[in-house]
Chains A and B, each alone.
Chain A
């Protein structure tokens, strides 16, 4: 019996040894795995599906031009199904099981917050492509979307200027969760600093998926009688459609009460008849309507990709800001890996600082040396009847992100991070 046991033990250890040796000699040597963590079902599928597609397109593009350090990229796509805890599970699976070198993903702040502990614990690397509320800085995350000072603050400054209508009263309308609440906290402090008093600021929240905006639109109308009013909308997801429809039907025109939105882009306007919305505003770091060679190439590449893959409505696909941010993020990661000659997390993080990339926004974007955010230009656009945007204001050059808003008390010491 004893001899038998010994034989089994020997066999088993030999097998284990063989298994352990296989990966180092196998095909992993000439490929690099990258994870894509976007909801392909559930409420967020509307927005996030396009990010998955643009990520796959960028990876194809990189592979076609020789890959990264001569190695082909292999995308691993998972579907966290708009389910926040599932985001953490899938992130863990990508890092430990699939052994990806980097993950591109997340949209809502809730999903980002739920994967953070995983990336910290396993020392992974996440590229987050969406504008967000700030108040966060993680070593393992690169933020390629806008911080509040690269989107919300310039938009409000524009509304207060003569050009933007000289608004004196502000109606802050949002979906009830962390991003709108934090953004509005920052905006309220900012407005106070500009001499706007609390009686000229109204803050209203609706639940996720709210679809009846009659009362709110009537209230906006009433609020607007007290002086030149602007609405600042942080409504997220498909609630925007009924909101804008109600605005149009109630006869509130952009020339009377302009609405500036931070989560409405080309993709969201595809679901709306944009004619009644002409003149309402959005603030982003990229618009599809920007005219420059990099953007033309980007749009052309994505259209060709959509046609090749037979995406639904392939002839009408649009590009938007988070898609651009995804595209820029993947390219910058590639450059950093090539600079570091390694996909090791610590080395890539070090190599990321100061990376530059000619972005479709027409500017050369730089990754900040210390704060993991991009320096981005800000554009303010008015909605056109065809669902695109006319740029009516822009910054002269990319501006540095302030993830810790100076308008939030307690952040004074964090400005140089």
Chain B
């Protein structure tokens, strides 16, 4: 679907004489309701490799081809061009029926358009085209691949194209040609090639024993390489889940762990952070559309500030009066959470809000063919580590952190030596709430943003804090990452429903055996 800029530019720069060879009969087939006719027309246009025809195909794949007044036209922004001559029609016809390309056509179009791009001067375009071509080889693209191989110099692109060529050689009647093709394919580590080769292991599919032996060796070699990718993928998804749990729970580790406040409205602080992302996104879309991608960066201080502000208001007006009364705190904060949810519903509506990933966080990197690491998850792992470092620094390297730790360990004594415990409480609560806001911002990039999104995270957050050991930052980190990796490995093995139950059972048993959590608080602390 992504348009190739250089190709389009190259086509636009062509003289007008090039824009004639699109035959009206083929165009009519392209716009017909019969899919087989459409596919035939696509192949015909692609085989001609005429720039005008390519432009029409490009338009079709982008949903920019339409029928207006019995004519097939290409729509480009405000301009409407006659598809046969590529001359502009003025005034633009008012009623247009878009020619619909369904998945089957898009697959075909993707293959042929990529094959046509194989000769592009830009290496990046060629590389992307080569990868695209191997996804959908068609009778039209095979000769184009062959032609590209005669001129291609880049080793990476060559190897992709050679794999594609070897794939088509697998159907060659000569066993020797097939054997060498299998050998060439054995160097690939793509799961798709493995499936292709695995089919040759069957006697009915492959009559030649030599080819079968070669295929067996190739499949084993690929399997060994794929096993690594799979393992790394599992660990990565576990770490990713863990980093999300950590961001959700880190704020709670301060307010609950350090201050002993059972804050049932913690999830709603996450929600406040997520909605800050929504608001910043809307502002950037409106006022700075060219710098849209940076709305996420701009949302970081906003999310922290908004959630911290809500936290301060909560602490000053309600929670402050309920310290050391856990039951009342629980009920009051639960009430607060309902108020916050309803407030969000009143302001933003009950529907989930749409949050788009900035372009630098969409897509994925593929270090090994069967290992896909989504960029937004990598960014969130990095972000959670950054937040963790800042919080650790705050608690261990600043005066405020010293006071917070002092109040945690022994409130009465800290008060005796002149620490204003009330102010420290407010500051610590604001910090915890602000971090929850940052967690919400991160969640907005992968999960739903809605008024009651926080409800889904409150149990997980408490689980992490309790498992890690109350009052322990290191415990929260260990618990979050550990839970993430364990549940992802379990999920691959038992399915999501059982994995969720198993993790809960594990936490219950663990807390029974070790009530203080992973890391116990040392020192002369006083239990409230």
Identify the A interface with B (CB < 8 A): 40-43, 45-46, 49, 162-165, 176, 204-207, 209-212, 214-216, 218-219, 221-222, 225-227, 238, 241-242, 245-246, 248-251, 254-256, 258, 267, 270-273, 276, 278-279, 281, 311-313, 382, 384-385, 390, 392
Q: Which residues of B contact A218 (CB under 8 A)?
A: 233, 237, 372
* The one of B342, B375, B449, B452 that contacts A43, using a Cβ cutoff of 8 Å: B452
- Asked if A382 contacts B354 (CB within 8 A), the reply is no
One digit per residue, 1 when the CB lies within 8 angstroms of any chain A CB and 0 when it does not, for chain B 88-113 equals 00000000000010111011001000
Interface flag for B410 (CB, 8 Å) = no
- Asked if A238 contacts B450 (CB within 8 A), the reply is yes
Q: Which residues of B contact A312 (CB under 8 A)?
A: 348-351
One digit per residue, 1 when the CB lies within 8 angstroms of any chain A CB and 0 when it does not, for chain B 349-379 equals 1111111110000111010001010111100
- Asked if B349 contacts A209 (CB within 8 A), the reply is no
Interchain CA distance A205-B501 in the complex, whole Å: 13
- Asked if A238 contacts B237 (CB within 8 A), the reply is no
For chain B, residues 1 to 45, give those with C-beta under 8 angstroms from any C-beta of chain A.
1, 35
Residue among A45, A204, A218, A242 with max Cβ neighbours from chain B (10 Å): A218
- Asked if A278 contacts B1 (CB within 8 A), the reply is yes
Interface flag for B322 (CB, 8 Å) = no
Interchain CA distance A221-B35 in the complex, whole Å: 27
Given contacts A212-B241, A225-B195, A271-B354, contact A164 B103 (CB under 8 A): yes
- Asked if B496 contacts A251 (CB within 8 A), the reply is no
* The one of B192, B194, B345, B351 that contacts A271, using a Cβ cutoff of 8 Å: B351
Q: Which residues of B contact A273 (CB under 8 A)?
A: 354-357
Interface flag for B497 (CB, 8 Å) = yes
- Asked if A176 contacts B497 (CB within 8 A), the reply is yes
Q: Which residues of B contact A251 (CB under 8 A)?
A: 363-364, 366, 372
Interchain CA distance A216-B366 in the complex, whole Å: 18
Given contacts A211-B448, A392-B102, contact A204 B495 (CB under 8 A): yes
Interface flag for B488 (CB, 8 Å) = yes
Q: Which residues of A contact B492 (CB under 8 A)?
A: 215, 219
- Asked if A255 contacts B106 (CB within 8 A), the reply is yes
- Asked if A221 contacts B496 (CB within 8 A), the reply is no
- Asked if B447 contacts A242 (CB within 8 A), the reply is yes
What would be 8 A-B contacts, judged by CB atoms less than 8 Å apart?
A: A163-B104, A215-B237, A219-B492, A225-B191, A255-B107, A273-B357, A384-B63, A390-B100
Residue among B351, B364, B497 with max Cβ neighbours from chain A (10 Å): B351
- Asked if A49 contacts B350 (CB within 8 A), the reply is yes
Q: Chain A nearest CB: distance from B495 CB in Å?
A: 6
Q: Which residues of B contact A216 (CB under 8 A)?
A: 496
Chain B: CB-nearest residue to A245: B446
Interchain CA distance A206-B446 in the complex, whole Å: 17
Q: Which residues of B contact A42 (CB under 8 A)?
A: 452
Interchain CA distance A348-B103 in the complex, whole Å: 46
Residue among B102, B194, B353 with max Cβ neighbours from chain A (10 Å): B102
Interchain CA distance A392-B38 in the complex, whole Å: 14
- Asked if A207 contacts B103 (CB within 8 A), the reply is no
- Asked if A238 contacts B100 (CB within 8 A), the reply is no
- Asked if A279 contacts B351 (CB within 8 A), the reply is no
Residue among A246, A254, A271 with max Cβ neighbours from chain B (10 Å): A271
- Asked if B456 contacts A242 (CB within 8 A), the reply is no
Interchain CA distance A390-B98 in the complex, whole Å: 10
Interchain CA distance A106-B521 in the complex, whole Å: 51
Interchain CA distance A54-B376 in the complex, whole Å: 38
Q: Which residues of A contact B375 (CB under 8 A)?
A: 249
- Asked if A392 contacts B364 (CB within 8 A), the reply is no
Q: Chain A nearest CB: distance from B484 CB in Å?
A: 9
- Asked if B103 contacts A165 (CB within 8 A), the reply is yes
- Asked if B63 contacts A46 (CB within 8 A), the reply is no
Interchain CA distance A42-B450 in the complex, whole Å: 11
* The one of B107, B374, B452 that contacts A250, using a Cβ cutoff of 8 Å: B374
Interchain CA distance A214-B469 in the complex, whole Å: 28
Given contacts A225-B195, A246-B374, A255-B136, contact A241 B488 (CB under 8 A): no
One digit per residue, 1 when the CB lies within 8 angstroms of any chain A CB and 0 when it does not, for chain B 288-302 equals 000000000000000
Interchain CA distance A258-B234 in the complex, whole Å: 24
Q: Which residues of B contact A209 (CB under 8 A)?
A: 456
Interchain CA distance A91-B389 in the complex, whole Å: 54
Interface flag for B472 (CB, 8 Å) = no
Interchain CA distance A256-B191 in the complex, whole Å: 14
- Asked if A207 contacts B106 (CB within 8 A), the reply is no
Interchain CA distance A270-B356 in the complex, whole Å: 12
* The one of B63, B449, B500 that contacts A207, using a Cβ cutoff of 8 Å: B500
Q: Chain A nearest CB: distance from B509 CB in Å?
A: 21
Interface flag for B240 (CB, 8 Å) = yes
Interchain CA distance A248-B366 in the complex, whole Å: 14
For chain B, residues 175 to 196, give those with C-beta under 8 angstroms from any C-beta of chain A.
191-192, 194-195
Interface flag for B491 (CB, 8 Å) = yes
Interchain CA distance A205-B499 in the complex, whole Å: 11
Interchain CA distance A214-B489 in the complex, whole Å: 12
Interface flag for B397 (CB, 8 Å) = no
- Asked if A45 contacts B191 (CB within 8 A), the reply is no
- Asked if A205 contacts B495 (CB within 8 A), the reply is yes
Residue among B349, B350, B355, B364 with max Cβ neighbours from chain A (10 Å): B350
- Asked if A382 contacts B102 (CB within 8 A), the reply is yes
One digit per residue, 1 when the CB lies within 8 angstroms of any chain A CB and 0 when it does not, for chain B 452-487 equals 100010000000000000000000000000000000
- Asked if B349 contacts A225 (CB within 8 A), the reply is no
Q: Which residues of B contact A267 (CB under 8 A)?
A: 351
- Asked if B194 contacts A225 (CB within 8 A), the reply is yes
Interchain CA distance A311-B492 in the complex, whole Å: 43
Interface flag for B135 (CB, 8 Å) = yes
Interchain CA distance A219-B241 in the complex, whole Å: 17
- Asked if A214 contacts B376 (CB within 8 A), the reply is no
- Asked if B104 contacts A165 (CB within 8 A), the reply is yes
- Asked if A392 contacts B100 (CB within 8 A), the reply is yes
Interchain CA distance A281-B102 in the complex, whole Å: 10
Chain B: CB-nearest residue to A312: B349
Interchain CA distance A267-B102 in the complex, whole Å: 22
* The one of A46, A210, A226, A246 that contacts B352, using a Cβ cutoff of 8 Å: A46
Q: Which residues of A contact B350 (CB under 8 A)?
A: 40-41, 45-46, 49, 312
Given contacts A214-B241, A226-B195, A238-B448, contact A205 B497 (CB under 8 A): yes
Given contacts A162-B104, A241-B447, A255-B107, contact A221 B497 (CB under 8 A): no
Q: Which residues of B contact A385 (CB under 8 A)?
A: 63
Interchain CA distance A164-B103 in the complex, whole Å: 7
* The one of A46, A222, A382 that contacts B103, using a Cβ cutoff of 8 Å: A382
Q: Which residues of B contact A270 (CB under 8 A)?
A: 351-352, 354
- Asked if B496 contacts A207 (CB within 8 A), the reply is yes
Q: Which residues of A contact B348 (CB under 8 A)?
A: 312
Given contacts A46-B351, A312-B351, contact A249 B374 (CB under 8 A): yes
- Asked if B351 contacts A222 (CB within 8 A), the reply is no
Q: Chain B nearest CB: distance from A391 CB in Å?
A: 8
Q: Which residues of B contact A382 (CB under 8 A)?
A: 100, 102-103
Chain B: CB-nearest residue to A219: B492
For chain B, residues 135 to 188, give those with C-beta under 8 angstroms from any C-beta of chain A.
135-136
- Asked if B364 contacts A250 (CB within 8 A), the reply is yes
- Asked if B496 contacts A210 (CB within 8 A), the reply is yes
Given contacts A163-B35, A163-B104, A206-B496, contact A214 B237 (CB under 8 A): yes
Interchain CA distance A258-B356 in the complex, whole Å: 22
Interchain CA distance A281-B241 in the complex, whole Å: 28
18 other A-B residue contacts (CB within 8 Å) besides A249-B377, A390-B102: A40-B350, A46-B351, A49-B350, A165-B104, A204-B496, A205-B495, A206-B496, A207-B496, A211-B448, A249-B376, A251-B366, A270-B351, A271-B449, A278-B1, A279-B106, A312-B349, A384-B63, A385-B63
Interchain CA distance A227-B348 in the complex, whole Å: 44
Interchain CA distance A204-B1 in the complex, whole Å: 30
Q: Which residues of B contact A384 (CB under 8 A)?
A: 63
Interchain CA distance A214-B491 in the complex, whole Å: 10
- Asked if A249 contacts B362 (CB within 8 A), the reply is yes
Interchain CA distance A169-B354 in the complex, whole Å: 32
Q: Chain B nearest CB: distance from A159 CB in Å?
A: 10
Instruction: List 7 A-B pairs, minimum CB-CB distance, nearest first.
Output: A312-B349, A271-B352, A249-B374, A214-B237, A255-B107, A225-B195, A273-B356
